[in-house]
Amino acid sequence: MRSSKRHLLGLTTAAVMVASVGVLALPLSSDNWASTPHWSYSGKSGPSHWSSMGPSFVVCGNGKAQSPIDLESRDAKTGKADEFHIDYEKGAVALVNNGHTVQANVSDAKDTVVFDGDTYRLAQFHFHSPSEHTTDGTRFPLEIHFVNEDGRKRVVVVGVMVKLGKQNESLASVLRALPASEKETSKDTRPPVTVDLGSVLPHDHGAYVYAGSLTTPPCTEGVHWVVLKEPIQMSSDQIASFTRLFPDNHRPLQKANGREIDNESD
């Protein structure tokens, strides 16, 4: 954020009293890749087949609180007042191509989110093309997920939409350091990249808040989603620097199944 501490009002108790997810949206290392089924975004290992690929992926098909969803502004409700603020700072991140996205692992424990009085540390952020969530049916070229975890392995994901526009100076260092090709995986050693995470998020922190899941296998439910309404901008060249590696790495929309979506404003 441009201001290190900003507040959103109206996070409901229902949105925060959810089960521990136990894992991050994407693994921080490749240590457990061999123990899970190989999944992808297309073909026989694509999203429509995830739930049948192994016992650990079953919830991808039978879960009732799956993500992403369409965030409909007309159905969003104003929540009850509570505090949410982000304190991200300038620091180094390690870029990893894990075969599903480019993920920036964060080692600085100072990057935190306070959600309903609990502190969550930013573990990583990664990109999806096109956006996974839609807003009133609108899909964006990219969506960035900032994955935050607390000491009990509960997860808050801050979703940020990206629209085509001017050059994004805050993320320029990360985009310039993306792998040259999709074949460069986590086994390739790349130097850390310095990025000012405090300046990445938009000025307006109004958001849609709901209880959902990981958008990648094992699709674990119990994730707190905070999807910021205002998109940030990237130039066409910057967007292309990611989409040439991953033209389509988004999960299709899931059923809302009556879940309440809070319409928050700061």
Report the catalytic residues: 100
Q: If we measure between CA atoms, which residue out of 130, 124, 133 comes closest to residue 155?
A: 124
Q: Can you tell me the distance from the alpha carbon of 4 to that of 2, in angstroms, rounded to the nearest whole number?
A: 6
Q: Can you tell me the distance from the alpha carbon of 243 to that of 18, in angstroms, rounded to the nearest whole number?
A: 34
User: What's the Cα-to-Cα distance from 7 to each of 10, 116, 160, 163, 206, rounded to whole Å?
Assistant: 10, 11, 16, 24, 9
CB neighbour burial string for 6-15, b if at least 16 within 10 angstroms, e if fewer: bebbbbbeeb
Q: If we measure between CA atoms, which residue out of 95, 96, 120, 85 comes closest to residue 198?
A: 85
Q: Running DSSP on this structure, what letter comes out for residue 84?
A: E
Provide the 3-class DSSP secondary structure of residue 203.
coil
> How many CA atoms within 13 Å lie on the side-chain side of 207?
27
Q: Can you tell me the distance from the alpha carbon of 66 to that of 82, in angstroms, rounded to the nearest whole number?
A: 24
Q: Do residues 220 and 59 lie in contact, with contact meaning Cβ atoms separated by under 8 Å?
A: yes
Name the residue with tokens 């692992």: 105
Strand partners, 103: 96, 126
> Largest Cα–Cα distance in the chain?
47
Question: What residues contact residue 46 under an 8 Å CB cut-off, 6+ apart?
Answer: 39, 40
